[in-house]
């Protein structure tokens, strides 16, 4: 039953993957959900085996993040078997906006360069990625270009993805309703006749409570959402194209809003997913170790070794997360 459920979840993920529109690469400590002023973060994720007393069996991810004193990412280095592999560098303009991302081999040869431009309101306008295969005797190639359009209210109304080395392109249009909330998007593709539509419904607090995926006028998936008093997702229900409920997810969190429980049951009320999360945290409440349990067995272990800037002492005694944010904003 559990294997079937995992296959079902994979299929659902594939069906909804087309919604994952590109955006600016995560490049701030906030994007990585880190409090304070981290200087370096070494992240490692690996599979574990409870029978071997949580011994590492295989690495899934291993990388290091380096931030400047403005909490901006300036380098991300990937590791394979403990050795430095490809790495990326990040550059910022005078408005503290990311404008250039360079991917390099371990020997410092450039693999690709991604450049970001913004409109007069500071919103992303274009993203262009160029590969540099000249190291292999080739010519520079634009492999991906994205453009964004906005209305007079500053709302995004169009997103186009194209490539110079392919005739394929994708265009997504955004439509808004009462209170300027996004009510649906329509995506068309140059290489087939599919038309994907996603509709959104929100409650009076403007929280998303329903999302429906439609392909060529036929529903393929529906999800509903409910939240706890902190605004965190508490329950998600997943339905298929015929509006039959497939799965119901429930989530629980600790006092620092870290997820501690994720359970999914099928339409027969049988548990298909049962994950529990255990954390070790530092004095800034950033987790340094997260262990994921599949019922009783350890499934994954994640470790973050965090080195902070000296300016952390500005509010290191501030234990309340909201107070820390206020103090942080003052000094910025």
Tens of pLDDT along 15-27?
A: 333 333 446 889 9
Tell me the C-alpha distance between 278 and 110, whole Å: 40
User: With contact defined as beta carbons under 8 Å apart, do 177 and 154 qualify?
Assistant: no
| Res 178: pLDDT | 83
| Cβ neighbour number for residue 284 with a 10 Å cutoff | 19
Structure tokens at 82: 């403990």
Average of per-residue pLDDT values in the chain: 85
pLDDT computed for residue 5 by the predictor: 43
* Range of lowest pLDDT (49-58, 126-135, 214-223): 49-58
The per-residue pLDDT for 313 is 47
Q: What per-residue confidence (pLDDT) applies to 222? A: 98
pLDDT for residue 50: 54
Share of the chain above pLDDT 70, in %: 80
pLDDT in tens, 144-172: 899 999 999 999 999 999 987 667 899 99
pLDDT, one tens digit per residue, over 118-147 is 999 999 999 999 988 655 555 667 788 999
Over 80: is that where the pLDDT of 48 sits?
A: no
Q: Which pTM was predicted?
A: 0.80
Q: Where are the beta strands (DSSP E) in 168-270?
A: 169-176, 182-189, 195-202, 208-215, 218-227, 233-240, 245-253, 259-266
Q: Compute the distance between CA of residue 97 and CA of residue 75 in angstroms, rounded to an integer.
A: 15
Domains of the chain: 195-253 (2.40.128.720)
Confidence of residue 216 (pLDDT cuts 50, 70, 90): very high
Dump pLDDT digits (tens) for 77-103: 999 988 999 999 999 999 999 999 999
């Amino acid at each position: 039953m559990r294997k079937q459920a995992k296959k079902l979840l994979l299929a659902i993920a594939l069906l909804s993957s087309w919604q994952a529109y590109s955006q600016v690469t995560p490049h701030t400590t906030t994007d990585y959900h880190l409090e304070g002023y981290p200087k370096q973060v070494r992240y490692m994720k690996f599979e574990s085996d409870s029978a071997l007393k949580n011994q590492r069996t295989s690495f899934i991810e291993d990388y290091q993040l380096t931030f400047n004193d403005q909490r901006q990412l300036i380098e991300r280095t990937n590791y394979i078997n403990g050795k430095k592999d490809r790495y990326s560098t990040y550059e910022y303009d005078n408005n503290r906006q990311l404008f250039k991302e360079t991917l390099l081999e371990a020997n410092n040869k450039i693999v690709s360069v991604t450049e970001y431009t913004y409109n007069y309101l500071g919103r992303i306008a274009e993203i262009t990625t160029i590969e540099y295969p000249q190291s292999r005797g080739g010519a520079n190639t634009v492999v991906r270009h994205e453009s964004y359009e906005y209305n007079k209210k500053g709302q995004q109304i169009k997103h186009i993805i194209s490539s110079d080395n392919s005739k394929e392109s994708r265009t997504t249009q955004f439509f808004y309703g009462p209170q300027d909330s996004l009510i649906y998007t329509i995506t068309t593709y140059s290489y087939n006749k599919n038309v994907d539509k996603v509709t959104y419904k929100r409650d009076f607090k403007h929280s998303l409570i329903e999302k429906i995926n439609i392909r060529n006028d036929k529903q393929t998936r529906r999800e509903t959402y409910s939240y706890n008093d902190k605004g965190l997702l508490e329950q998600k229900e997943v339905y298929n194209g015929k509006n039959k409920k497939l799965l119901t997810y429930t989530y629980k969190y600790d006092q620092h809003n870290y997820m501690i429980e994720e359970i999914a049951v099928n339409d027969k009320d049988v548990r298909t997913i049962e994950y529990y999360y255990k954390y070790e945290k530092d004095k800034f409440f950033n987790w340094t170790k997260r262990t994921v349990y599949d019922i009783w067995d350890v499934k994954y272990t994640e470790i973050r070794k965090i080195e902070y800037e000296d300016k952390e002492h500005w509010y290191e005694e501030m234990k309340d997360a909201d107070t820390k944010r206020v103090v942080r904003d003052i000094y910025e």
